[in-house]
Amino acid sequence: MNQDFTERRQYHRIYLRAYVFNRQAMLRKDGEVFRLGLVDISMGGARFTLAAGNAGSLFAVGDVVICSIPGLNDKGALQDLRCEIRWVDSGQLGVRFLPELALSTVDLQQLLTV
């Protein structure tokens, strides 16, 4: 992962592993559905992990995908989100939400850690 990207983050991230929550996410790309682990999330984007470690063969920077985080009582706030892939490495990828989420960090934390 490019260090410059980390330094340019605009929003506080919620690191779900720190809260011992293993949330799953679904990304849809070209009609195909991929299940990934949600590592962290902010109003601006999220980071996911793939157990198989083949993110680079499935996704490319610039791809537009649709993200949903199932199993939440979120009234649709974290469902069918349009995203752009911003970075990819062997087992992880980062997305930018298009547009940014209309939720605060506190709202996100309440939705994801209960």
Residues 25, 72, 102, 108, Cα dihedral to 10° = -90
As a whole number, the mean pLDDT across the chain is 84
Band the pLDDT of 60: cuts 50, 70, 90: very high
Q: 2 or 64: which carries more pLDDT confidence?
A: 64
The answer to whether 104 and 77 are in contact (CB under 8 A) is no
Question: Given the structure tokens 């349009």, which residue do they identify?
Answer: 82
The model's pLDDT over 76-91, given as tens digits with 9 standing for 90+, comes to 999 999 999 999 998 8
Question: Among residues of the chain, what percentage have pLDDT more than 70?
Answer: 82
pTM above 0.85? no
As to burial, measured by CB atoms within 10 angstroms (0-12 exposed, 13-18 middle, 19+ buried), residue 37 is middle
The model's pLDDT over 5-26, given as tens digits with 9 standing for 90+, comes to 444 555 566 665 534 567 899 9
Question: Among residues of the chain, what percentage have pLDDT more than 90?
Answer: 53
Residue 108 clears pLDDT 70, i.e. is over it: yes
Residue 110 clears pLDDT 70, i.e. is over it: yes
